Amino acid sequence: MAGLYISRAVDSVIESRRVSAMSWSVAGKIIAVDPGHGGIDPGSKGNTGVEEEEITLAVSEKLKDTLTGAGAIVVMTRESDMDLSDPNGSRLITRKRQDLSRRLELAEKNGADLYLSVHVNCFKSGPGEHGAQVFYQPGSEEGKQLAESMQAEMARVLGNTTRKAKAVDYYTTRNSKMPAAIVEVGFISNPKEEKQMLDSEYQRKLAYAMYCGVVKYFAGSATATNNPVDRDGALETFMENEGQVLDAP
């Protein structure tokens, strides 16, 4: 057992070094990070009274820090407890659709290469349900590749989920003009997982796992070119987006 544990630990270190070596793939990429819910729709509530929108914002802020540390440009759809709908007395469903639509418009306006929406799962009738899971739009090959890359890294880094990436028709993924994924970082209905998701270090681990998935997604889709390399332009781009090597939490 000790040998197996050591082997897994070594594999994890090697994989983290691989991610660092591939971190160039996100430099200069524009990534929309969408902390789910907020404002008129706080989302699900846990046993402690914490609301989904609080957890998604905390995790998303750490994801932003991790991505920008590697040279990516991050567009946040919200940075406080708010939504993007008009407060005009419309029905909740109308305002919610408007909110989601405007989040996508914000990403598109800024030329985002990816759209990542962070959420928290809930299953009140089954408090034993646990584990992060990534969803993508049915029929989207790019979305599938992104989701599977992120799901694999969630499983590797967190070590507490065996769930698989799943195709589900959601408003956000269906209407996104860029590859998109919805990341359910855990179950707020599970007392143990709720406690983990409130822990700052675990939130950083979640952010790192998502970052690893994004790095591998972009690295996997990169292609070689036979065109001459603009060395001056490449150097200028690097100087503007130096980034840094990010170690696993």
Instruction: Give residue-wise pLDDT tens across range 71-92.
Output: 999 999 999 999 999 988 789 9
- Name the pTM for this structure: 0.85
Compute the distance between CA of residue 50 and CA of residue 62 in angstroms, rounded to an integer.
Answer: 18
231 pLDDT band, cuts 50/70/90, is: very low
Q: Does residue 234 have a pLDDT over 50?
A: no
Is 145:221 a contact under the CB 8 Å cutoff?
Answer: yes
Lookup: tokens for 165: 């990436």
- What pLDDT shows up at residue 248? 54
Which tokens in the block code for residue 72? 């990516």
CA distance 172 to 179: 11
CA distance 34 to 27: 19
CA distance 206 to 63: 8
CA–CA dist 181, 144 (Å, integer): 8
The confidence band for 210, taking pLDDT boundaries of 50, 70 and 90, is very high
φ, ψ (nearest 5 deg) of residue 160 = -135, 20
Q: Is the dihedral of CA 157, 195, 32, 135 positive or negative?
A: positive
**Smallest Cα–Cα separation from 68: which of 248, 221, 244, 202?**
244
Instruction: Give CA–CA dist 146/69, Å, rounded.
Output: 20
- Tell me the average pLDDT across 117-145: 95
Residue predicted with more confidence, 159 or 226:
159
For residue 212, pLDDT beyond 90: yes
In this prediction, what percent of the chain has a pLDDT beyond 70?
83
Write down the pLDDT at residue 90: 83
| Rg for the chain, CA atoms, rounded | 18
User: Model confidence at 10, in pLDDT bands (50, 70, 90)?
Assistant: low
Q: How far apart are CA 151 and CA 164, in angstroms?
A: 6
Nearest C-alpha neighbor of 113 from the set 202, 47, 205, 179: 179
pLDDT at 78: 97
Picking from 74-78, 208-212, 235-239, which range would have the lowest pLDDT averaged per residue? 235-239
Mean pLDDT of the chain: 88
Residue 125: band (very low, low, confident or very high) from pLDDT cuts 50, 70, 90: confident
Strand partners, 220: none
Residue 223 has pLDDT above 70, yes or no: no
Look at 97-111, 131-145, 198-212, 218-232 and tell me which has the smallest mean pLDDT: 218-232
Residue type, 24: W
The whole-number pLDDT of residue 225 equals 38
More confident call, 116 vs 10: 116
Evaluate if residue 8 carries a pLDDT over 80.
no
- The answer to whether 104 and 115 are in contact (CB under 8 A) is yes
Distance CA 116, CA 64 (A): 11
pLDDT at position 242, please?
Answer: 47
User: What is the average per-residue pLDDT within 114-137?
Assistant: 95
Domains assigned to the chain:
2-221 (3.40.630.40)
